[in-house]
Amino acid sequence: MERLRVMFLCTGNSCRSQMAEGWMRALAADHIEVKSAGIEAHGQNERAISSMAEVGIDISQQQSIRVNGEMLEWADLLITLCDNAEEQCPIMGQQTAKLHLPLPDPAKLKGNEQELADEFAQTRELIRQRVDYVIQQLHQVA
What's 18's domain CATH number?
Answer: 3.40.50.2300
pLDDT value, residue 29? 86
**Catalytic: which of 26, 41, 89, 138?**
89
Catalytic annotation on 82? yes
Q: Is 89 a catalytic residue?
A: yes
* Mean pLDDT, rounded, for 112-137: 95
Q: Which domain holds residue 108?
A: 4-141
pTM recorded for the entire structure? 0.94
Angle (nearest 5°) at CA 49 between 29 and 8: 50
Residue 82 phi, psi (nearest 5): -155, 160
Per annotation, catalytic residue among 9, 10, 28, 52: 10
User: What is the number of structural domains in the chain?
Assistant: 1
Query: Do the Cβ atoms of 32 and 138 come closer than 8 Å?
Result: yes
Q: Please give, one letter per residue, the 3-state secondary structure of the chain.
A: CCCEEEEEEECCCCCHHHHHHHHHHHHHCCCEEEEEEECCCCCCCHHHHHHHHCCCCCCCCCCCCECCHHHHHHCCEEEECCHHHHHHCCCCCCCCEEEECCCCCHHHCCCCHHHHHHHHHHHHHHHHHHHHHHHHHHHHHC
Is residue 1 over pLDDT 70?
no
What average pLDDT score do residues 12-24 get?
97
**What's the whole-number mean pLDDT along residues 40-58?**
97
> Catalytic: 15?
no
Q: How much is the pLDDT for 142? A: 59
Q: What is the mean pLDDT of the chain?
A: 92
pLDDT digits (tens, 9 = 90+) for 60-112: 999 999 999 888 889 999 999 999 999 888 766 678 889 999 999 999 989 99
Q: What share of the chain has pLDDT > 70, as a percent?
A: 96
Catalytic pick among 9, 82, 103, 131: 82
- Evaluate whether 36 touches 13 at the Cβ level (below 8 Å): yes
